[in-house]
Amino acid sequence: MEPSDEPTDTDIAALDDAFRLLANETRLEILRALWDAPSWTATYSELKDAVELGDSGTFQYHLRQLTGTFIEQTDDGYHHLTSGITVVRAMLSAVNASPEPVEAIPVEARCSTCDTPYDAVYVNQVFEIQCRECDEHVFKIPFPPAGLQGRSAEERIAAFDRWSRRLISLACDGVCPWCSGAMSTRVVLDDPEPFGYPVRVDHECTHCDAFFHTSLGHNVFDHPAVVGFFADHGFDIDSIPLWDLGFCSTDAEVAVLRREPVRTQLQITIDSETLRLAFDAEAAVVETEQMS
């Protein structure tokens, strides 16, 4: 599946309409009142009392504007639709942030260029695993500020690893981790940006245009053949951070087998055994082979 085209006029108009619906204090208060209500459900009277708007006609108007897009009316009253819940959660994940700068967190992985330990650096709500000396970076994914709250440095980096695994796994399964839209995946050759991989995998949502780049290895850390290969050698791959997995963070064992149609290969070696995985143009594993 090819990456999406530019957003259509219909997409842009729908987005503009949604923003306009939220550009009103009363409507935001209604969404917040429903969020605070048991089971995200409240009667008309309960909502009106919570919003404290004296004019019934004005309140009804704003309630109607939200209904069908962010909330729904039922026999029990009004309740949040998934879109309404998503809006409030997105706001909470963004605003529950400490204004204090986040110090770099040392990780065990080392730079393949200068052998200096990597740091996890958090800037502009994005965690990046990078070398503290030569600035080589191997991993970079957005991480909501709420994920920092109430956690130690070790807990933050562990949470980032779990978050990253979920995002990548969903994308590789064709599901956008942000909007649940269809996610395309394709192998890109001879374009080393942004991580320097000669073979890169691009993931892009056909609905919300979310995108990120990964290595071939990132696409198979949870593949049954890889999980089993590590288990056979006494390792629980699920407990190893993605940036500590050499086949994810380097391209030393990646080969281009064919360019048209694209066919690539990744080798993973533990002790004296090697697992080979072949990929098609959409980074799907089409063949595995284990050798001693």
- Residue 262 and residue 187 in contact, taking contact as beta carbons nearer than 8 Å: yes
Residue 63 lies in a domain: yes
Domain that holds residue 76: 9-95
- Residue 251 and residue 199 in contact, taking contact as beta carbons nearer than 8 Å: yes
- Residue 65 and residue 21 in contact, taking contact as beta carbons nearer than 8 Å: yes
Residue 269 lies in a domain: no
Which pLDDT score is estimated for 193? 66
What is the distance between the alpha carbons of residues 186 and 178, in angstroms, rounded to a whole number? 19
Residue 49 lies in a domain: yes
Domain count, the chain: 1
Residue 85 lies in a domain: yes
Residue 46 lies in a domain: yes
Which pLDDT score is estimated for 15? 74
Q: Is 274 helix (H, G, I), strand (E, B) or coil?
A: strand
Q: pTM (2 decimals)?
A: 0.79
Residues of the chain with pLDDT under 50: 1-7
Which pLDDT score is estimated for 194? 62
**pLDDT tens across 55-101, in order?**
788 899 999 999 999 999 988 899 998 888 888 888 877 665 555 67
Residue 136 lies in a domain: no
Which pLDDT score is estimated for 99? 56
What is the distance between the alpha carbons of residues 145 and 140, in angstroms, rounded to a whole number? 15
Which pLDDT score is estimated for 139? 83
Which pLDDT score is estimated for 1? 31
Which pLDDT score is estimated for 4? 39
Residue 39 lies in a domain: yes
CATH of the domain at 22: 1.10.10
Which pLDDT score is estimated for 131? 87
Which pLDDT score is estimated for 44? 92
Which pLDDT score is estimated for 135? 72
Which pLDDT score is estimated for 16? 81
Which pLDDT score is estimated for 6? 47
- Residue 287 and residue 278 in contact, taking contact as beta carbons nearer than 8 Å: yes
Which pLDDT score is estimated for 154? 94
